[in-house]
A and B are shown apart, each in its own frame.
Chain A
Amino acid sequence: MKSPLEISHFENYKFYLPLIFLPFWLLLYIYLDSISNYFVYEILGMAKGIHITESIRFFIYEVPKVLLLLVLIVFVVGIIRSFFSPEKTRKVLEGKPLLIGNIMASGLGIVTPFCSCSAIPLFLGFVESGIPLGVTFSFLIAAPMINEIAVVLLFGLFGWKTALIYVSTGLVISIFSGWLIGKLKLEKYVADWVYQTKSGNIEIEGQIISFSERIETGYTAVREIVSKVWIYIVVGIGVGAAAHGYVPEDFMVSVMGKDAWYSVPLAVLIGIPLYSNAAGIIPVVQVLIEKGASLGTSLAFMMAVIGLSLPETIILKKVLKLPLIFIFIGIVASGIMTVGFLFNMIM
């Protein structure tokens, strides 16, 4: 057993560590551009302006930048998420009417800890405790689509405006799709046994109490997520760097440009069966945009890849009948396409 003194000492160190790191983080982030320039042009002595130099500079600058952002955001989101749990979210959503329920469910979908492996228990837990089907769907659409990794990468590679557009259009899609599914009264397409079982609602004591434990969850989130996605980021940015200097600027204009109207539905159709996480797909999308793909089409592609994945939807077959699965995919895909068309029109 640890003595109380030892514990508080240990907790102090966990608590102050992020505060000590933050200034270093900031300095590194601010000077990263100069550091990578210095490294490429001075230390490696590469000539400015040629393709290979620009590709390497791109890689050496973008990888640490995205990783820095990722560590910070995942840490903060990890702490924020420790205040939420599906069980608490369910309690909040109980008895909420359709539209308000959809809005709240979508918002909570962003902050509630979620992994695709818990989609089914979550669906059952929500529906069986009386939360309307449409509200449950709003949650299930928002949770995977608007994840912190996507937001970090969009912010890092495209800037805050694109990140904001992604989050807000994602919210609109999840609110509206859930609302529509609720209005269509599709309960008959839920597997019959679902409504026959009653989910237990025993009082579970809050697991996490102290603030130091919340910080601990921040560390755990960083460890788990960064160790899982760093390789996708490196490879994704690597592909981006390779294309950066070599693929002609207008390469994608004819296929994914604004004027190719069919590019939006095509991007969504290709995106749905593609199973990739945000970390792998966004650096590649950045190259597409750089080479002339329009923002609307690229946004639609990203949303389809991240938010609608065929393998995850097939898991839901255990609790949903096929018509509902198709309606679900259809509504969300139409929502994504609308966003794509809209941005191609106004940007």
Chain B
Amino acid sequence: MNIKILGTGCSKCTMLEKKVSEIVTNKSIEASIEKITDLQEIMKFGIMMTPGLVINDKVVSYGIIPKDSQIIQWLEEGN
């Protein structure tokens, strides 16, 4: 599974990245986490609020830090 965190470095973006990598480690999910900080790259996903969470090239959330249970659900669906 391919996970991307979109964010230019705001505090929420770092929080989301930490959260996702924690969940991935705890649940031993096989996934690559990629952080995208380049603004033009981020714009290609069509979002205007960061952080964005992309699972298997699909934007699942933007502008918010989703709840843990929600992230776990997305990760399980994506696997």
Chain B binding surface SS class: loop
Task: Report whether B48 and A121 are in contact in the complex, using a CB–CB cutoff of 8 Å.
Answer: yes
With the chains together, A86 CA to B47 CA distance in Å?
Answer: 8
Return chain B residues, CB-CB under 8 Å to A318. Answer: 39
The total of Cβ contacts below 8 Å across the A-B interface reads 62
Minimum Cβ distance to chain A for residue B5 (Å): 14
Contact with A along B36-79 (1 / 0, CB 8 A): 00011011111111100000000101111000000000000000
CB-CB under 8 A for A90 and B48, given A85-B63, A117-B10: yes
Contacts of B45 in A (CB 8 A): 200, 202
Bound CA–CA A122/B62 (angstroms): 13
Partner pick for A121 among B39, B59, B61, B64, CB 8 A cutoff: B39
Within 8 A of A (CB), among B17-51: 39-40, 42-50
| Cα(A117)–Cα(B43), bound, Å | 15
Q: Measured between alpha carbons, how far is A85 from B8 in the docked complex, in Å?
A: 19
Contact with B along A307-320 (1 / 0, CB 8 A): 00000000000100
State whether the Cβ of A3 lies closer than 8 Å to any Cβ in chain B.
no
> Please, how many angstroms separate the alpha-carbon atoms of A85 and B62 in the complex?
10
- In the assembled complex, the Cα of A124 lies from the Cα of B63 at a distance in Å of 16
List residues of B whose CB falls within 8 A of some A CB: 8, 10, 39-40, 42-50, 59, 61-64
Beyond known contacts A118-B63, A200-B45: 17 more, CB 8 A cutoff: A85-B49, A113-B49, A117-B50, A118-B50, A121-B8, A121-B39, A121-B47, A128-B43, A197-B43, A199-B43, A199-B44, A200-B46, A202-B59, A204-B59, A204-B62, A207-B62, A207-B64
Chain A residues packing against B (C-beta within 8 Å)? 85-87, 90, 113, 117-118, 120-122, 124-126, 128, 193, 197, 199-202, 204, 207, 318
In the complex, 23 of the A-B residue pairs with CB atoms within 8 angstroms, ordered by the A residue number, are A85-B49, A85-B63, A87-B62, A113-B63, A117-B8, A117-B50, A118-B48, A118-B49, A118-B50, A120-B39, A121-B48, A122-B48, A122-B49, A124-B43, A124-B48, A125-B46, A125-B48, A200-B43, A200-B46, A202-B59, A207-B61, A207-B64, A318-B39
